[in-house]
Amino acid sequence: MPLHLIFFTLLLYLHIPASSAATDTILAGQTLGVNDKLISSNGRYALGFFETSRKSSGSTPNWYLGIWFNTVPKFTSAWVANRDKPIKNSTSLELAISHDGNLAILNRSSKSIMWSTQASITRNSTTAVLLSSGNFILANSLNLSEVFWQSFDHPTDTFFPGAKLGWDKVTGINRRLVSSKNSISPASGIYCTEIDPSGINQFWLAPLNSLVPYWSSGVWNGKYFASIPEMAAHSIFSSIFVSNDQEKYYTYNLEDETMVTRQVHDVSGRSKLFIWLKGSQDWVMIYAQPKAQCDVYAICGPFTICNDNALQYCDCMEGFTITSPEDWELEDRTGGCSRNTPLDCNISNKSTTHTTDKFYPVPCVKPPHNARKVEEAASTSKCAQACLNNCSCTAYSFSNSGCSIWNNELLNMRQLQCGGATNSNEETIYLRLSAKDIKSLKNNRGGFVIRIAIGTGFSALGLFSLFLLLMIWRNKRKSSDLILNGAQGSNGIIAFRYTVLQGATKKFTDQLGAGSFGSVYKGFINDSIAVAVKRLDGAYQGEKQFRAEVSSIGAVQHINLVKLIGFSCEGSKRLLVYEYMSNRSLDIHLFRNNSTILSWTGRYQIALGVARGLAYLHESCRDCIIHCDIKPENILIDASFTPKIADFGMAKLLERDFSRVLTTMRGTAGYLAPEWISGVAITPKVDVYSYGMVLLEIISGRRNSCTSCPGGGNADVYFPVHAAHKILEGDVGCLVDHILHGDVNLDEAELACKVACWCIQDDELDRPTMGQVVQILEGLVETTMPPIPRLLQAMAGSSHSTRS
């Protein structure tokens, strides 16, 4: 054979191997084995076979053909060909182009086809290519632009950049995302993301094949979807919505193609966006919808209660146990819970019903929506009997709206905070259980009390001989004599002896600060637990009333509120004991020379946290709490830089009248709303005004009232007015603290400035509520350009404000 023919044959052999492992293409005659993979030309994606199995189960693994992120060391699949048809035996698997031109998973030993593209092929020769976009295509070998089949038309749970979410009106293909079954299996789950089939230009999240969504994006306005205004601020994506005679779809592209992102409709039923961070070597979630996990339809399954404030948000109702613990462990809780004991519902004849079933109260819940009203049941007892008369009835409720009963499975029960001002849907549901389960529940509680009583009795007998010695030892050891008369309120608030707190604070020598209501000192309980002890000035209430008010303050708990640990009330001495905040108050970080510089991200999160705390005080407590003295000194920062509002509830505790005129309160100049001076009754909007002033200081890093502070702008112009003008001029950058050196998200800064200016409007009716402020800062609600408050301009009296 001539040398050039040998060389040509060798090249041909190298170009078309029996198993392609380091290419992005499969040609006719080539195969991809279990140990091979295709890699896109940019190296971002890989395609091949992978297995899934539970490590502890010992079961035979399932094999799938799929696409994953090749540059991410943590295996993360993005598309699966045979997600609902797993393959058990991998020894003879191969991916190849079959005789009809389709791409197929073949079993070599049985010569059978396990999966195929099933496309209508009009050419004899086809080629499969994994593109740099992550799209796996089957195309004409001579013209790759002639595509017969593509993975982008058959998405699983991941939305690739450049892919289309929506309808091809010509072929009838509906490109939608379907969640996976659980955290291991890529099989189809029960939730989907799709373009609204009713014709509205939006997409929604809904149970599979349901026409009732549990979240929708809002209508596309040409730039973003109405419910996702943050899309307008994102610089990492460019979005497109297309609607014409041939197709209707939404797509997006990455502005920075080096960024590795993952948008997925995951097992939890939520749409989530992740970014791969090389530093942490993990996916970091930056966005999720719906915001609350319990908004997902039936996420916990039947006979469960969903609680957004719990780490494990799903829990079985009393008298029920988890149907499939294995599924729950894999994050699939849609199977819910099952009865421990079947109901006893025996109907002897048409007019008489005999049953031993009882009802168990489930308080403070948002009931399921599918209630049936029983108009003739005009009392609680009649409502209960109406439920007992129906064998399929599983619960009832009787309230101002009358009698409601629920049949069969109970879905979407949601735990609410008892007595919350915003919980208008809060009810007590009476759950139908067998008499055996009711008795068991009572016995468990009674048995617990009996066991405690017996244990206490034996302990008392055993310790009686040492009682006197123990009392002497307790009196000598001051640090253990913490609780006054053993008193501890229902909210866990401890009543300390005054001498204990005096010793813990070294006789009140380590002062942390002083405010409107008294001085604060650092102390240590048991020489190890750091606390902040506030010594109140002007507390003249009687002891009983003081204890009652302290108890009510202790019941108010939120991640953005300082936690009250205890108090002391002896004679005229009044002390409050709070958790210690290691990073002190916000003013130290904003206005003083501090080694720790608050980044823009940190400032924005602090602003958002304070807003959430105030919204909780105003809208979610049993009684609305108006703080009346919001300022940086009353915003404390913990070790993780989470902001916590201090001194809430002080007005009622110290019997201050905040509802009349300026002279009867102790607000702080510079943060007072105009209505303080007018003498009208105040509302929560005074806190909104103060928050707006604080927000401006968070943005600028300077006091609003400072006339000679650095940080840009005219020193002789009152800063809030200066800020309002600069917002109108579109020059937000000059308002941000110069110490950040421009390392700022200007879209967030502009949004924060707008919110601040709305909060400090002259008329309280023009100000948003704190709940609305939270929604705006979270990007859930769009806001417009605010007007410059007239009163502030008059107060400033500068030529700048006069000309405007």
Q: Which residues are designated catalytic?
A: 629
Tokens of 321: 């146990």
CB 661 within 8 Å of CB 679 = yes
Q: How many CB atoms lie within 10 A of CB 580?
A: 21
Instruction: Round to whole Å and give the CA distance between 115 and 43.
Output: 26
Instruction: Round to whole Å and give the CA distance between 296 and 186.
Output: 20
Cα atoms found within 13 Å of the Cα of residue 735, Cβ hemisphere only? 33
Tokens of 353: 């019903």
Instruction: Round to whole Å and give the CA distance between 265 and 215.
Output: 13
If residue 455 lies in a helix (H) or strand (E), which one and from where to where?
Answer: helix 435-463
Instruction: Round to whole Å and give the CA distance between 116 and 439.
Output: 58
Residue 603 has what DSSP assignment? H
> Cis link prior to 73 (omega < 30° from 0)?
no
CA Rg value for the chain: 33
Contacts of residue 281, defined as CB under 8 A and 6 or more positions apart, other chains included, come to: 73, 74
Cα atoms found within 13 Å of the Cα of residue 102, Cβ hemisphere only? 12
Contacts of residue 289, defined as CB under 8 A and 6 or more positions apart, other chains included, come to: 205, 215, 217, 228, 270, 271
For 234, 282, 432, 732, the CA distances from 752, given in Å and listed in that order, are: 16, 30, 50, 10
> Cis link prior to 674 (omega < 30° from 0)?
no
Instruction: Round to whole Å and give the CA distance between 126 and 141.
Output: 5
Instruction: Round to whole Å and give the CA distance between 719 and 737.
Output: 12
Q: How many CB atoms lie within 10 A of CB 414?
A: 22
Q: Is 74 marked within a binding site?
A: no
Instruction: Round to whole Å and give the CA distance between 162 and 164.
Output: 7
Q: Please name which of 301, 270, 316, 308 lies closest in space to residue 414, comparing C-alpha atoms.
A: 308
Cα angle vertex 361, ends 434, 351, to 5°?
A: 50
Instruction: Round to whole Å and give the CA distance between 371 and 395.
Output: 10
In three-state secondary structure terms, 462 is: helix
Q: How many CB atoms lie within 10 A of CB 474?
A: 11
